[in-house]
Amino acid sequence: MTRTVYVNGNYLPETEAKISIFDRGFLMADGVYEVTSVLDGKLIDFDAHAKRLRRSLDELDMASPVTMDELLAIHRELVLQNKVEEGLVYLQITRGAPADRDFAFPDPETVPSSLVLFTQNKPGLADSPVARVGIKVISIEDIRWGRRDIKTIQLLYPSMGKMIAKKAGADDAWMIQDGHVTEGTSNNAYIVKGRKIITRPRSNDILHGITRAAVLRFAKEAQMEIEERRFTIDEAKEADEAFITSASTFVMPVVEIDGVALGDGTPGKVAPRLREIYLEESREAAIWQSERGQAALATLPLPARKYKSTAPDTAARQTILPKSGKLSSLSRIVRISQNRLYSNVMAARNIAMWLAQFRTVDIAASGYWRNRFLIAVWTQAKLGTNTISAAIDPLIRLFITPVNSESSDLGHQISIRWKERLTTFAAQISMVVIRNA
């Protein structure tokens, strides 16, 4: 099927797309780009990509031909027109097409920047079979220019690195500068030693990965230890695990470096767990990037009807109407979810969206753990019991299993900490939920 693409203000079939031969992206690689993932038809981390794009443009003194809101609208339209459920949206901004080739920058007042976008359908992107077996990497010298933090379209050497790796029977290459790993050809690099995730700190030497930032945040919230420092390729070969992150691969285990197998040559525990967390968190957050999803939530009707209560207090049997106060709003969301017979996951998602918007309950936990606990809230509200404590222990065993074995000291400590936090959270909202059930 012919794709619809976007070129300088026009949506048109890819076969009709044209760009000037004098465009500086074509002649000088004078441009920047971003790639945003699409899962379930929704954009992943668009705001972060837009912020990095703005930074890249500013660093190169390049004008954007559209606002970020307009750019978001273009993304959504392309995803819709091309029926992308899982895939990518590529955007590229160049310094435009002057009348002739010249090393000097053209006047932005007379030569507008060029903007091109297209989609790539990639069914199975989230459930990649490669992620279950991992990839092999080799090391190559890093001879790129010094501003790798700017996401430019100067991608010749990374492309050469990919081809060098393929010829060596590997999947990708990690680049080495002064004996230390910088990054992969199109991804950030990590190793795992003991209980630490080690990755190079942000600087001009590496791209400030959007997926990198999200994964590190989720890892910290999951009580994993992060150490941002340089590491050598020899240190990487001796690591327990390794992995890469990018917008198109999410979290991908690395099982071999320069022919040396890591561990038993299969993905360890950390990378697959982080991939699982990242995908689930990203899908949750992507709801807010769906314009229709936000509108649907805002207009969700509140049924004016009576709800059966199993609580001994007969006063709890009352007509549920909009109330003031955020905790009442929370119980309202539970009520709506229950009335519409949503699945427990959807109900928890609705409550999580409410919490993310109003930040009523201050719990020292990430959205990932919070959402799982909210499943317990939903389950207990549906059952009509007077306490949530019965749901906490099985949830901890099911959803809060640490990366390290539960029998380890660290695993035990993590479980205890999370149980304490969830129990406190339960005490704050359980009576509200049950009182109006």
Angle, to 10 degrees, between the axis of helix 46-59 and the axis of helix 210-221?
Answer: 130
- Tell me the C-alpha distance between 348 and 142, whole Å: 46
User: Is residue 152 a contact partner of residue 56, using CB atoms and an 8 Å limit?
Assistant: yes
Catalytic residues: 151
Structure tokens at 45: 């981390």
Please report which helix (H) or strand (E) contains residue 386, including its range: none
- Tell me the C-alpha distance between 168 and 135, whole Å: 13
Burial class (CB in 10 A: 0-12, 13-18, 19+), 20: middle
Most distant CA atoms of the chain, gap in Å:
83
Please report which helix (H) or strand (E) contains residue 316, including its range: none
Closest C-alpha to 358, from 292, 297, 433, 437: 297
- Across the beta sheet with 10-13, the strand order is 10-13, 4-7, 114-121, 86-94, 31-39, 42-43
Structure tokens at 110: 């007379």
- Count other Cβ atoms within 10 Å, centred on residue 36: 26
How many residues are present in the chain? Answer: 437
